[in-house]
Chain A
């Protein structure tokens, strides 16, 4: 019975650790949040906007709804160039909605709009994608990736294996440090090779010019 209680306590503590991190992340994400965009109405009081995908390609036929204080005021559809117009709006805070995505805007009359106000509202449809540089794919990384992806089913991974993995990581770290020293030594050779390449470039340029 004591052992059961002991194990139960452990499990509770473990669960607390598991849920703590995502909560902190969410809190971190919500900090410093000001998503409202300033947008100027045109001279005739019309809101101009466009719906595009993440590559900037216009989306035809997208339904745009305008809300104020959770009350829907207008609904329009984008044309083949992705543009839409909404008339009859005044200064104030509104929310534009496309396919469930919300875009808070602060609308201004043209005469009183601040310099930061945009001439139109751009609604980007779809999730923004990450940008990354060329990566690396070696056996150790692949193992680590697989371990990460299957993190939710880790019951199959024993602690022993985790410890061995840690040792391998440490060993690799040492090897990396050694390689870094070698790289620095090789840098001098590279500089010399660069000089040769520069000379080759001169010859290439000469050939291109003659062509």
Chain B
């Protein structure tokens, strides 16, 4: 067992050697994150947790994830995938960041993270007040990417925002709706083309996430022809047929911006 102070205090170590030991010790600090207390796999979901949970909590967690998976497959007509989704739950924010620093450094400043992989999708979330919202958000990304070969970022984030709340808040009482209605009074207007041009997460701000949610809400609860356009698009993407751009299909079917604004104004 290494003990930091002991080695560093030895005069026998030369300066370069002390540096090597410091690196080693820091590596150990980094590796300390991700010491899973409990691991459980049910179906395609493989959960690793840094904190212990009671059997009831495990059951509730898998029930919540299973419910979300069923809803996504049912509402979007997705074929269930056999790809494993790995969920990593961290005890604290610092532990979460320590773990990511050595594996996904670009994600350290994100509150929660989904990393697609060819073998499995990986979700990283740390425990805090309301962390289940983060978990639903990232799990939605994981489910979409395990069933579809690609998902445009604006649609991906829109679905994640839509499904991150509890099921009874998806259609109504979503915090985004009230905020959008208030902004409508001050002349806010949508711009789907701008969202479609964004391909990097760093280009997205709070207003973009809100607008992504608005488009998905519109496609899930709006006019029949719009819902059909979304269904056809997802079917084509899943089947490997040329799907084109979803925005183009939507524009062909209706007067898009006007219909979205009407939808938001009228939705209670």
Contact = CB atoms under 8 A, between A and B. Distances in A.
Interface of A: 3, 6-7, 10-11, 13-15, 17-18, 21, 25, 29-35, 39, 48-50, 52-58, 81-83, 116, 118-122, 124, 128-137, 141, 144-145, 147-149, 151, 154-155, 157-160, 162-163, 166, 169, 172-173, 176, 180, 183-184, 197, 201, 204-205, 207-209
Interface residues of B, number: 88
B52 to A, nearest CB: 17
Nearest to A183: B129
Contacts of A7: 12-14, 17
B258 interface: no
Interface string B112-153: 111111111000000011000010011001000100011111
Contacts of A56: 150-152, 237, 243, 245-246
Nearest to A197: B178
B22 A35 contact: no
A55 B199 contact: yes
Contact of B109 (A39, A141, A169): A141
B108 interface: yes
17 contacts: A7-B13, A7-B14, A14-B21, A33-B118, A39-B240, A54-B150, A56-B246, A132-B113, A132-B114, A133-B138, A144-B97, A159-B25, A160-B8, A162-B25, A201-B178, A205-B268, A208-B184
State the majority secondary structure of interface residues on B.
Answer: helix
A145 to B, nearest CB: 5
**A-B pairs with lowest CB-CB distance, top 4:** A132-B110, A148-B101, A14-B24, A120-B240
Interface of B: 4-5, 7-8, 12-14, 16-31, 79, 82, 84, 92-94, 97-98, 101-120, 128-129, 134, 137-138, 141, 145, 149-153, 156-157, 160, 178, 181-182, 184-185, 196, 199-201, 206, 209, 237-243, 245-246, 265, 268
B240 A204 contact: no
A151 B26 contact: yes
Contacts of A145: 97, 101, 105, 108-109
Contacts, number: 217
A12 to B, nearest CB: 10
Nearest to B19: A155
A159 B22 contact: yes
Given A130-B107, A160-B8, A166-B29, 12 more contacts: A35-B118, A119-B239, A124-B149, A129-B116, A130-B116, A133-B113, A135-B110, A144-B98, A151-B26, A159-B21, A162-B4, A184-B129
Contacts of B157: 131
B17 A131 contact: no
A54 B199 contact: yes
B64 to A, nearest CB: 18
Contacts of A136: 109, 111
**Highest count of chain B CB atoms <10 Å: which of A32, A122, A131:** A131
B160 A18 contact: no
B97 A131 contact: no
Contacts of A209: 265
B114 A131 contact: yes
Contacts of A172: 94
Contacts of A118: 238-240
Nearest to B178: A201
A83 B236 CA distance: 13
Contacts of A184: 129
Given A56-B245, A148-B108, A17 B79 contact: no
Contacts of B24: 13-15, 17-18
Contact of A131 (B22, B23, B185, B201): B201
Given A128-B145, A130-B116, A141-B109, A155 B23 contact: yes
A176 B131 CA distance: 14
A137 B109 CA distance: 6
Contacts of A119: 239-241
Given A149-B105, A207-B185, A133 B134 contact: yes
Nearest to A181: B129
Contacts of A120: 239-242
